[in-house]
Structure 1
Amino acid sequence: MNNTIKETAGYSIEEGNAASKNAYHWAQKTFSTRAGKPGEPAQDLAGGFSNEIRFGSERLGIGSDGIGTKIEVAERLDRYDTLGYDLIAMVADDLVVAGFIPTNLSNIIDVNTLDYAVVDELMHGLHDAAQFSQIAVTGGEIAELGNRIGGYPGARMNFNWCSTAVGVLHPSLERPLSGANVRAGQAVVALRSPSFRSNGYSLARRALTKAFGEMWHQAPYSGPDAAEMGQTWGEVMLAPSLIFAPGVGAVLDAGLPLHAAAHITGGGIADNFKRVLKNGVGAELTNLFEPLPAMQQLAELAGITPTEAYLYWNMGNGMLLVTDEAQAEAVAETLRGKGYQAQVAGRITAEPGVRLNVGAGELRYEA
């Protein structure tokens, strides 16, 4: 990534990956404290966003995440009832791509000054998202931290919202999905994301501010999907994340083969999919879902190339599943039966790296 993009986005994907790798290195040094005891962590899931903990024969998954700077959009619009979908999607979908069915969630809301009504809206939305994904919210805390928490000036409450979720390994799996069984010739199924989800918002907000000024959230949006996304850029950017975990659970319930899965968040398709492309294999994706029109407009506003846009946003593809070629259409049909948009998007190749054949042309990302 060049320095211009780092300045535009306000952060570096490479530096973030390096910091995360270093943090995991330190965390891994603690695994020995539970060796042979309840809560023993798995040693072979490095590179993912959740991990396995063992309690006798029971295999549980655990993962943590937050909504990030999408919260500022909610503060600008003074609407808070959709963020629960983002909060659950970030952790539930991280769990399910490793084969864990999400069951419970604990959350923490750090605020500057407490506003009861805003918290009520947040928790109402979390309740609705939990019902959709069949998760019980079994813990949480609200902490007032004064000027340690900032945000959009004039909002009723500035806050940060993070959660930890746990899940149980699907009974059809002997071990978590890590990519160890991915082989050349297998097929890739894509699930369409109808929103930006909860990633790439620092870049998006900077681009929108540059294009429309400080009140960018009130700027009209006139894309062909405005009826679905909203009439303003604020509404477009607040559109909630679709939670994919129930769909992937249905695939496993149907007994269909699933060798790996990738949750497409920050780092885009290439960075996230490469985490499960082990054994030296790569991928050729020639039938992905088209980027949302808003994403294409935003890339133009930000002055970034398609190669870079596919690193910052999901570009209309929220999850990729690896399955047997002969069962790929059955996997897609099972997902469609649960209300998701899914299609066979490509195949696993013997050559390393990820190649995308999209409307903007061929994009290559090295292994």
Structure 2
Amino acid sequence: MSTSPSENPAGYSIEEGNAASRNAYGWAKKTFANRTGLPGEPAQDLDGGFSNEIRFGAERLGISSDGIGTKIEVAERLNRYDTLGYDLIAMTADDLIAAGFVPTNLSNIIDVNHLDYGVVDQMMRGLHDAANFAKVAITGGEIAELGNRIGGWPGAQMNFNWCSTAIGVLHPSLAQPLSGKTAQAGHAVVALRSPSFRSNGYSLARKTLQKLFGDNWHEAPYDGPDAAEFPTWGDAMLAPSLIYSPGITALLDAGLPLHGVAHITGGGVADNFQRVLKNGLGALLDNLFAPLPAMQRLCEVGGISPETAYLYWNMGTGMLVVTEAASAAAVVAALQASGYDAQVAGHLTAEAGVTLRVGAGELRYGAA
């Protein structure tokens, strides 16, 4: 049964959002026949992912679109815009690599209420830095001035929304995109640590901070154990997304066996990981990374339950990789060599559903 926006702490329903997405994709899929046998033919069997395959002769490309969401308001409040590019690229590049597509190009669109040259310069400088990290070329863009159609924090120099579409090429080691179809019970699950909220869960976070500290919550002193790095709650919430695509690409370059990759965004660990659990498989994850201090502190001061937190936030784990048990140590070592924090987090089970064993207890999602 779906939950109405008034019945949950974030103000929106993940279930209803998933249902709307499935319906929208259903309409989109009815257009696939327009390109059957022609350049740009879409794949028919990648339902449930955040990117899809399009074919140009022998070349197999992936395409993904996303935006930063309400994290933009944090940047508006702090008048700091040079890290948002990491969030924008992470949302699309990491969706692509989760299906085995190495990101290559990105086009972006900035919708603004009115144009501020300095703000756009900060945004694009950050996007440039993030693109260099991800080895992506920015090959298209648009700035649209839409007046009062665009809103945001009233004190901002410029209110805006920022979205992008990225494309990538299927890694040459793969015969087909990664989807979880080749995964088996007993396969290992490797977790990559996330140092931030990424660009998800901000509706719940902002709602909680507003209730606790009022309209200027971004200026409230942050009292987590990492307060030396993040003096205010605004600083803690603006920490940029880590882009994982270079690390996963390095695994594929090394010929390590991957059977599924989940990008942990809105919906948390369980909702996103279940997208790659095919054939009735489930998972037991008993060694995930600890929640970020800011997430843990928000739970404590805001009275947010572990079940809710793990549903709306990544809780310190930004990506999950399915590999063979015999290769798990090599996958972890390769990711660490690429500069990522990684560890074996659990394994796949023959029983459906996802079970998380975390510091707050055992959380079960789905059929388990």
TM-score (structure 2 length as normaliser): 0.98
CA contact 1:8–1:302 (8 Å) conserved in 2: no
Q: Could you list the per-position Cα deviations for residues 210-259 of structure 1 after superposition, in whole angstroms to 9, with x for gaps in the alignment?
A: 0001100000011112234x110000000000000000001001110000
Deviation, structure 1 residue 261:
0.3
Q: Alignment partner of 1:139: what SS?
A: strand
CA contact 1:208–1:301 (8 Å) conserved in 2: no
* 1:273-312 aligned within 5 A: 273-312=273-312
CA contact 2:5–2:11 (8 Å) conserved in 1: no
Deviation, structure 1 residue 7:
4.3
Matched length: 366
Q: Could you list the per-position Cα deviations for residues 147-173 of structure 1 after superposition, in whole angstroms to 9, with x for gaps in the alignment?
A: 000000021100000000000000000
Match of 2:48 in 1: 47
Match of 1:256 in 2: 256
Q: How many angstroms apart in 1 are the aligned matches of 2:33 and 2:304? A: 44
* Residue identity in the other structure for 1:305: S
* Residue identity in the other structure for 2:314: N
* 1:1-367 aligned within 5 A: 6-228=7-229, 230-367=230-367
Q: Alignment partner of 2:258: what SS?
A: coil
Provide structure 1 residue ranges, at least 5 long, that are not aligned to the other structure: none
Q: How many angstroms apart in 2 are the aligned matches of 1:71 and 1:6? A: 25
Deviation, structure 1 residue 5:
7.4
Deviation, structure 1 residue 302:
3.4
Q: How many angstroms apart in 2 are the aligned matches of 1:82 and 1:15? A: 31
Q: Alignment partner of 2:308: what SS?
A: helix
Q: Could you list the per-position Cα deviations for residues 102-127 of structure 1 after superposition, in whole angstroms to 9, with x for gaps in the alignment?
A: 00000000000000110000000000
CA contact 2:332–2:344 (8 Å) conserved in 1: yes
Task: Say if 1:204 and 1:192 are closer, same or farther in 2 by CA, change over 3 A.
Answer: same
Q: Alignment partner of 1:348: what SS?
A: strand
CA contact 2:39–2:57 (8 Å) conserved in 1: yes
Deviation, structure 1 residue 6:
4.2
CA contact 1:83–1:122 (8 Å) conserved in 2: yes
Q: Alignment partner of 1:167: what SS?
A: strand
Q: How many angstroms apart in 1 are the aligned matches of 2:91 and 2:303? A: 28
CA contact 1:105–1:165 (8 Å) conserved in 2: yes
CA contact 1:103–1:136 (8 Å) conserved in 2: yes
Task: Say if 1:153 and 1:195 are closer, same or farther in 2 by CA, change over 3 A.
Answer: same
CA contact 1:5–1:304 (8 Å) conserved in 2: no
Q: Which moved more, 1:294-303 or 1:237-246?
A: 294-303
Task: Say if 1:134 and 1:6 are closer, same or farther in 2 by CA, change over 3 A.
Answer: farther
CA contact 2:4–2:12 (8 Å) conserved in 1: no
Q: How many angstroms apart in 1 are the aligned matches of 2:26 and 2:317? A: 30
Q: How many angstroms apart in 2 are the aligned matches of 1:325 and 1:227? A: 39
Deviation, structure 1 residue 301:
3.4
Deviation, structure 1 residue 8:
2.5
Task: Say if 1:4 and 1:109 are closer, same or farther in 2 by CA, change over 3 A.
Answer: closer
Q: Could you list the per-position Cα deviations for residues 86-112 of structure 1 after superposition, in whole angstroms to 9, with x for gaps in the alignment?
A: 000000000000000000000000000
Q: Alignment partner of 2:144: what SS?
A: strand
Deviation, structure 1 residue 296:
1.2
* Residue identity in the other structure for 1:177: L
Q: Alignment partner of 1:81: what SS?
A: coil
Q: How many angstroms apart in 1 are the aligned matches of 2:5 and 2:176? A: 43
Q: Could you list the per-position Cα deviations for residues 119-146 of structure 1 after superposition, in whole angstroms to 9, with x for gaps in the alignment?
A: 0000000000000000000000000000
Q: How many angstroms apart in 1 are the aligned matches of 2:59 and 2:323? A: 25
Task: Say if 1:5 and 1:312 are closer, same or farther in 2 by CA, change over 3 A.
Answer: farther
Q: How many angstroms apart in 1 are the aligned matches of 2:305 and 2:261? A: 26
* Residue identity in the other structure for 2:270: A
CA contact 2:264–2:273 (8 Å) conserved in 1: yes
Q: Alignment partner of 1:8: what SS?
A: coil
Q: How many angstroms apart in 1 are the aligned matches of 2:172 and 2:252? A: 9
Deviation, structure 1 residue 305:
1.3
* Residue identity in the other structure for 2:247: G
* Residue identity in the other structure for 2:62: G
Q: How many angstroms apart in 2 are the aligned matches of 1:266 and 1:154? A: 27
TM-score (structure 1 length as normaliser): 0.98
Q: How many angstroms apart in 2 are the aligned matches of 1:135 and 1:217? A: 32
Provide structure 2 residue ranges, at least 5 long, that are not aligned to the other structure: none
Deviation, structure 1 residue 4:
8.2
RMSD (Å) for aligned C-alpha atoms: 1.1
Q: Could you list the per-position Cα deviations for residues 66-100 of structure 1 after superposition, in whole angstroms to 9, with x for gaps in the alignment?
A: 00000000000000000000000000000000000
> Among the aligned pairs, what percent are the same residue?
74
Q: How many angstroms apart in 1 are the aligned matches of 2:102 and 2:116? A: 33
Q: How many angstroms apart in 1 are the aligned matches of 2:174 and 2:209? A: 44
Q: Alignment partner of 1:49: what SS?
A: coil
Task: Say if 1:218 and 1:47 are closer, same or farther in 2 by CA, change over 3 A.
Answer: same
Q: Could you list the per-position Cα deviations for residues 19-78 of structure 1 after superposition, in whole angstroms to 9, with x for gaps in the alignment?
A: 000000000000000000000000111000100000011100000000000000000000
Q: How many angstroms apart in 2 are the aligned matches of 1:7 and 1:320? A: 27
